[in-house]
Structure 1
Amino acid sequence: MDTIDRKLLALLRKDGRASLSALAQALAVSRGTVQNRIERLTRDGVIAGFSVRVTQADDPHAVRAVMMIEITGQKTLAVIQALRGLPEVHALHTTNGAWDLVAEIHADNLVEFERVLRGVRAMDGVSKSETSLLLTTL
């Protein structure tokens, strides 16, 4: 994944229904380039699908969590790239202390949340993680 792919994923996270033309204009590339990249990212499994997200207040089954991640060796950039490709990762932060990264995860339900959790824990370079579900926003 290069810079254009990452920017494209960020735009699609904001608006998964954005037109190819609008995405091309925002990325300063051709419409065909956007279409080819979306097809490649989908084929390679980076884009797992497109879905509708509703606000948490409207969806009692939605799951939000914070995941602290420890990375082994020199794998930080690879892990960051992989995490940025997950639509459920809404924010990613570097941090100091015992943990290398903190990921904010939003999933539609517990089944999807568990799938994301297993996927992150299985990533090459992730040595340890600790996850806390977010219950009530005050």
Structure 2
Amino acid sequence: MDDTDRELISLLRADARTSVVLLAKKLRVARATVQNRMAKLEADGTIVGYTVRLRPEVEEHRIRALTSIGVEGNHGESVRRELRGHPNVVALHTTNGRWDMIAELRADTLEAFDRVLNGIRNIQGISNTETSILLSTRKI
């Protein structure tokens, strides 16, 4: 991947619906070059898809939070497996440092969020959690 590919990806991140003609103009290359680069980036798995971003208040699950998770001993794989299948866990990251994982959680209401969080805290192998509810988003 070269600088042109990185700039193309940056432009697509800002607006994936930008026309190939406009992308070519912004990149100062031919339209066919943009099409070929996009096809190559898709074929090699660099670009895995295009998506729609919604304003947070429009989304179905309005309560969003990050939960830091401590895992007991060798329970890491079983905890990951349980969390990957959980309908309210939208992202799961392993980390270094004090916490073993960070889960992004979503729920419709605070009451539903409380039930989700209590359920996660009861998963076999989870020793400790710390949760921060996300209040606003400045950049997507």
Shorter-chain TM range is: 0.5 to 0.7
Task: Give the 5 Å matches for 1:1-138.
Answer: 56-58=56-58, 62-138=62-138
Q: Deviations over 1:68-117 (max 9, x none)?
A: 00000110000001101111100000000000000000111111111110
Stretches of structure 2 lacking an aligned partner (at least 5 in a row): 1-53
Cα distance in 2 for residues equivalent to 1:60 and 1:96: 32
SS for the counterpart of 2:136 is: coil
> How far apart are residue 55 of structure 1 and its match?
5.9
Cα distance in 1 for residues equivalent to 2:118 and 2:111: 11
Cα distance in 1 for residues equivalent to 2:55 and 2:93: 22
Q: Deviations over 1:20-62 (max 9, x none)?
A: xxxxxxxxxxxxxxxxxxxxxxxxxxxxxxxxxx863226982
CA contact (8 A) 2:65 2:105 kept: yes
Cα distance in 2 for residues equivalent to 1:89 and 1:134: 14
Cα distance in 1 for residues equivalent to 2:69 and 2:61: 25
With over 3 angstroms needed to count, the CA separation of the structure-2 counterparts of 1:136 and 1:60, relative to structure 1, is farther
SS for the counterpart of 1:106 is: strand
TM-score by length of 1: 0.58
TM-score by length of 2: 0.57
SS for the counterpart of 1:118 is: helix
Task: Give aligned-pair identity as a percent.
Answer: 46
Cα distance in 1 for residues equivalent to 2:77 and 2:61: 33
Runs of 4+ in 1 over 6 A off after TM superposition: none
The AA in structure 1 aligned to 2:89 is V
The AA in structure 2 aligned to 1:116 is V
Stretches of structure 1 lacking an aligned partner (at least 5 in a row): 1-53
Cα distance in 2 for residues equivalent to 1:60 and 1:85: 19
Q: Which protein shows a greater Rg?
A: 2
SS for the counterpart of 2:121 is: helix
CA contact (8 A) 2:60 2:108 kept: no
Aligned to 1:4: none
